[in-house]
Amino acid sequence: MTKDQKWIHKHFSELVEKYGGQYVAIANEELVAVGQSREEVEKVSKEKYPGIMPSVLLVPKEEDFLCIL
């Protein structure tokens, strides 16, 4: 697991709470971009950290975790 993946794991519930339904880019163990598309956050991340491949993910919404019994 990369350092950025570990950061995502550690902060996952916070990401879901604040950014559910949006894309986020993590680079150098830092949230560097939030947006509505993968391309948008990759572009911002690459501008901030040229040469570093960011970890980009679509953060699930809280309701995506609800279970109907």
What is the reported pTM?
Answer: 0.88
pLDDT tens digits, one per residue of 4-60: 999 999 999 999 999 999 999 999 999 999 999 999 999 999 999 999 999 999 999
DSSP states along 1-68: --HHHHHHHHHHHHHHHHHTTSEEEEETTEEEEEESSHHHHHHHHHHHSTT---EEEEPPPGGGG---
